[in-house]
Amino acid sequence: MTYKNFSVETDADGIALVTWDMPGRSMNVFTEEVMRELNAIIDQVVADAAVKGAVITSGKDSFSGGADLTMLQQMLGTFAKDKVTDKEKATKTLFENVGFMTGLFRKLETCGKPWVSAINGTCMGGAFEMSLACHGRVAADTDKVKMALPEVKVGIFPGAGGTQRVPRLTDTQGALEMLTTGKNLTAQKAKAMGLIHEVAEPAKLVETAKAMIRNGLKPVAPWDEKGFKLPGGPIYSVAGANLWPPAIAILRRETYGNYPAAMAILKCVYEGLLVPFDTALRIETRYFTEILQSKEAAAMIRSLFVSLQELNKGARRPEGVPETKFKKIGVLGAGFMGAGIAYVTAKAGIPVVLLDRDLPSAEKGKAHSDALISEQVKKGRAKPEEKDKLLALITPTADYADLAGCDLVVEAVFEDSEVKKGATEKAEAALKSSAIFASNTSTIPISSLAKNSVRPKNFVGIHFFSPVDKMMLVEIILGKKTGDKAVATAIDYVRAIKKTPIVVNDTRGFYVNRCVLRYMAEAFQMLIEGVPGAMIENAAKAAGMPVGPLALTDETAIDLAQKIMKQTIRDLGEKAVDKEQFALINTLVDKHERLGRKNAKGFYDYPPKPAKKKLWPGLKGLYPQLDPDKVDYEELKQRLLVTIALEAARVMEEGIVTDPREADVGSILAFGFAPYTGGALSYIDGIGAKAFVKIAKGLQKKYGAQFKAPKLLLDMADKGETFYQRFDPYAKGEVKKAA
């Protein structure tokens, strides 16, 4: 038989080599067609008496990325339509559909002939679940091999046997940690946990897998044998009593109950280990069917899988512009930001010229890359030769003439209009006319900076976040005259350095900083009201934010908040900044010299390591404190999320962001907006515009104009619209320019 996605070759020993190689895709994924073909291959292997067993591997650099989650989206779409007429029947159909992969892997596991998974590269989700259903597992000894069950990161969980096979192969504590975090495993770590059997040289991977079959590999899973005992011991045992209560408590501490899928994992493992394996699989499928219907799963799959993939592939890239293959990139300014930009550029294999006012300053910037890559080598995440290659790509200089031949120059000099003007003029004098000039600015409008350029069509904003090597989002800012080529080149660059681009029209603070400043401002307001600092920080984390607003202000620097407020007053007048909040920041900076983490004194005190930071005791003395028992904790959580979401809605109303995917993904990647909501706009959609406006009006009445709903939201509430309906990202249209 011939297959579209697989090839099957049987050798002289009667071992079938099943090679998974989907045409037209860079990575193998499970689709309905793939599952049907694998089902037929299992039947073929079983039916052919000459075949003793099978090895499954990949014809690509990676093994598989797991299931195509758009398939789940389609299932949910069908379910949503069918449940209107018969919910019980629709739920049963959904249960059967999501259980197909479970049944397929169980069929492979019990087919009576041995199967070995030969894992040559990235093996994620459903692909790793399939491998766990094989009787043998061999992984290549290479950095390319990463194994994980990462479904919890997109609001679901391993629902094709993962929650049952992992805790039957390794200790329960290790299984729970792996399943609830979705962390990657190396080949060595997976072997140490008992999840794979062998680690082989890449060239001997398939041969090692075949040898397992030749050497008499039993075609029976351990749990199907009589007398099987759980590696971590029974649920009802001393070990179980010591594990489960703290495991539940730790999960609640880490997730605050915001992630139904994480709790479902604990339930699947706990209940599944008490019953026979096939019953356990049905329990898992029931929980999976339930979780798949949750609004958290729908929102997270859309934003953190589908939308993220689309943006990473250049969904907002102008059509008809040839892709730029970068031969050389210039970075102006070798300070912390510029040095970080040079590092990620060189890491992508692109030669980079790092320019500063003098050579020692430029070399100091290169030393930052040396420190970062040396740390990676020390941790075993990079090889010494990779360090040498990366550093060889960075040329420090003080001579603008060295920028000749650059396809793109990223300016990251001091945040001062005059300094940026001089850097722009000197750089453009050395550049070819087709080169693109980008400014990394967080506060100065791109259109005003573009006035310094002799070719404003080729001038664009590329706003990185700190630290550059860790932050995955980049805002691409369009000035009034920015051309399509500049936008396309900026997106090509951001994709080349493996970060996610969002396209934003020009405004003060762009998108991310506008939302972040609202988050911080609401915390300042709470302090002024007398809400204890600890309650503010804990409420933020309980609402789903990774960092409390006071800690975040410390990280970005309190004196920077003061500078932004002063600049806003200069530009827009005194009414543009809340007087009491300005007084609070001035008191911290001018009276107490509390600048944030950088001088170890901010809203928190930062004692020498290993001691942990703690809130500054003096915070309590700044304002009369409210009785914590009389503070509405749930309302604190609501205020912190609603103020951000309202700003995101205003940004959409003003046309600063025009695609809801970018608003959602941007809010999660840039400052960790409660990921379980799917992002700032999905948070509103999840509540419903009408209900959200009601909440906002209630908060406005109690706390002020920052909660005033924009006209856009009021109109959406009247019409019963969502952001993804109102601003359909799949409707044909070009990138919208600033007015």
DSSP string, 12-58: TTSEEEEEE--TT-SS--B-HHHHHHHHHHHHHHHH-TT--EEEEEE
Task: Report long-range pairs for 333-336 (Cβ below 8 Å, ≥24 apart).
Answer: 333/365, 333/411, 333/412, 333/413, 333/414, 333/423, 334/361, 334/362, 334/364, 334/365, 334/366, 334/368, 334/396, 335/365, 335/412, 335/413, 335/414, 336/368, 336/466, 336/467
What CA–CA distance (Å, rounded) separates 676 from 384? 39
What CA–CA distance (Å, rounded) separates 386 from 710? 51
Which helix or strand (DSSP H or E) is residue 464 part of?
A: strand 459-464
Which helix or strand (DSSP H or E) is residue 168 part of?
A: helix 162-169
What CA–CA distance (Å, rounded) separates 614 from 608? 12
Strand positions, DSSP E, 77-229: 115-119, 123-124, 136-140, 147-148, 198-200
Of 135, 197, 463, 592, the catalytic one is 463
What CA–CA distance (Å, rounded) separates 689 from 677? 15
* Per-residue tokens: 392: 């060889």
Q: What is the dihedral of CA 313, 682, 70, 89, to 10 degrees?
A: -170
User: Strands 147-148 and 123-124, how do they pair?
Assistant: parallel
Q: Is the peptide bond before 532 cis (omega within 30 degrees of 0)?
A: no
Which helix or strand (DSSP H or E) is residue 567 part of?
A: helix 558-572
* Per-residue tokens: 251: 């999960």
Please list, residue by residue across 285-319, b when 16 or more beta carbons sit within 10 angstroms of its beta carbon and e when fewer do: bbbbbbbbbbbbbbbbbbbbbbbbebbbeebbbbe
Enter the DSSP assignment of 400: G
Q: What is the dihedral of CA 364, 370, 371, 372, to 10 degrees?
A: 120
Which helix or strand (DSSP H or E) is residue 669 part of?
A: helix 660-671
Which helix or strand (DSSP H or E) is residue 84 part of?
A: none
| Nearest CA among 655, 637, 632, 645 for reference residue 707 | 645
- CB atoms closer than 10 angstroms to residue 609: 6
Alpha helices in 472-557 (DSSP H): 484-496, 512-529, 533-542, 549-556
- The predicted pLDDT at position 571 comes to 82
Domain ranges of the chain: 6-293, 329-505, 513-726
**Residue 483: partners with Cβ closer than 8 Å, 6 or more residues away:** 457, 458
Contact predicate 364/335, CB 8 Å: no
What CA–CA distance (Å, rounded) separates 560 from 553? 9
What CA–CA distance (Å, rounded) separates 183 from 174? 11
Is the Cα dihedral 368, 546, 563, 598 positive or negative? negative
Contact predicate 348/498, CB 8 Å: yes
Contact predicate 27/62, CB 8 Å: yes
Return the CATH class of domain 329-505. Answer: alpha beta
* Per-residue tokens: 407: 């396809």
CATH number of 6-293: 3.90.226.10
Which stretches of the chain score pLDDT less than 50? 733-739
Residue 463 annotated among the catalytic residues of the structure: yes
Kindly report, residue by residue over 466-508, the tens digit of the pLDDT: 899 999 999 999 999 999 999 999 999 999 999 999 999 988 7
DSSP string, 101-123: HHHHHHHHHTSSS-EEEEE-S-E
Contact predicate 265/251, CB 8 Å: no
- The predicted pLDDT at position 731 comes to 79
Helices and strands: H and E segment counts in the chain: 30, 18
Contact predicate 701/717, CB 8 Å: no
Which helix or strand (DSSP H or E) is residue 604 part of?
A: strand 604-605
- The predicted pLDDT at position 734 comes to 42
* Per-residue tokens: 674: 């409660």
**Residue 41: partners with Cβ closer than 8 Å, 6 or more residues away:** 3, 6, 8, 18, 54
Q: Does domain 513-726 have CATH number 3.30.70.270?
A: no
Which helix or strand (DSSP H or E) is residue 226 part of?
A: none
What CA–CA distance (Å, rounded) separates 105 from 433? 58
User: Strands 394-397 and 352-355, how do they pair?
Assistant: parallel
Q: Is the peptide bond before 318 cis (omega within 30 degrees of 0)?
A: no
What length is written for the chain? 739
Instruction: Indicate whether this model's pTM tops 0.85.
Output: yes
What CA–CA distance (Å, rounded) separates 202 from 119? 9
What CA–CA distance (Å, rounded) separates 239 from 608? 38
Three-state DSSP state, 156? coil
Alpha helices in 331-442 (DSSP H): 336-347, 359-378, 384-392, 417-430
User: Strands 123-124 and 352-355, how do they pair?
Assistant: unpaired
User: Strands 473-478 and 459-464, how do they pair?
Assistant: antiparallel
